[in-house]
Amino acid sequence: MEPGQLQSCMQDPAGLRDFIRANLPLVPVLAIPAIKLHQAGPESGLRRLDSSGRHEAVSPYWAYCWGGGLALARHFLERPEVVAGRRVLDLGSGSGLVAIAAAMAGAGAVTAADIDHSAATALKLNAEANGVAVSVVVGDLTTAPSPAVDLVAVGDLFYERKLALRVTAFLDRCLASGIEILIGDPGRQFLPVSRLSTIAAYAVSGFGDVKQPPWRQSFVFRYQRDVR
């Protein structure tokens, strides 16, 4: 497919669905075989989808599993009472791993939000492949009021300072509204550590690597008022 055709594919949901199906195989998530996702590999050609024209462009985040999301997904599946019957928002959902795990664990309703239209397309495909219902929202919810949910799940959103500040402000609004907040993260630099208590740790393998990465610890934290 020529570059111009690829850019048209990126703008066309049907074309993007076809691209994902053709280039990102639907495979079980490592250590969470109950969930299958369309995942990128060395031959997926995702760099060709970058609209900036930069040769060094990084492949889309949604095409890979990440440590925090893997920890949250395992936590929901191993402790279904955490989400059972509850309204769950997966913020920055990417491929939908956490949202799908929540739905499979018995959540009453699951919403997955991401700013990337491509992620939303992949998320819908993944939810369908796993036989679960997930409502998909495209947009930056960090600028919005607290949502009408019982639990907000946040995986891997503390990798950049400005983003971390926006997410933290949003989570503060959610906390003030009585919403429970769980964060999955391997311990990145911009985590609001004074606001976190660790409730679980999991050995996971998946940090955006297309090849088999080493196993590392990733954590599930409860977000709360300053614990210091």
The share of the chain scoring above pLDDT 90, in percent, equals 74
Question: What is the model's pLDDT at position 14?
Answer: 83
Neighbours of 103 (CB within 10 A): 24
| Cα separations in angstroms, 151 against 106, 118, 127 | 13, 25, 19
The alpha-helical segments, DSSP class H, found in the chain are: 3-11, 13-23, 67-78, 97-104, 117-129, 161-176
Please calculate the CA angle 152-158-159 and round it to the nearest 5 degrees: 145
Query: pLDDT-derived band of residue 56, with 50, 70 and 90 as boundaries?
Result: very low
CA 15 from centre of chain: 22
Query: How far is Cα 110 from Cα 125, in angstroms, rounded to an integer?
Result: 15
HEC readout, 8-64: HHHHCHHHHHHHHHHHCCEEEECCEEEEEEECCCCCCCHHHHCCCCCCCCCCCHHHC
pTM score over 0.85: yes
Query: What pLDDT is recorded for position 101?
Result: 98
Average pLDDT over residues 53-74: 76
The 8-class DSSP code of residue 93 comes to -
Q: Tell me the one-letter amino acid at 186.
A: P
Confidence category of residue 153, pLDDT binned at 50, 70, 90:
very high
Residues 6+ apart with CB under 8 A from 91: 113, 141, 142, 152, 153, 154, 157, 167, 170
Q: Average pLDDT in the 80-109 region?
A: 98
- Write down all domains in the chain, each with its CATH number in brackets: 3-62 (no CATH), 66-223 (3.40.50.150)
- Give the per-residue pLDDT at 192: 96
Longest dimension (CA), the chain: 55
Residue 52 has pLDDT above 50, yes or no: no
What integer is the mean pLDDT of 128-143?
A: 97
Q: What are the tokens at 40?
A: 């990128």
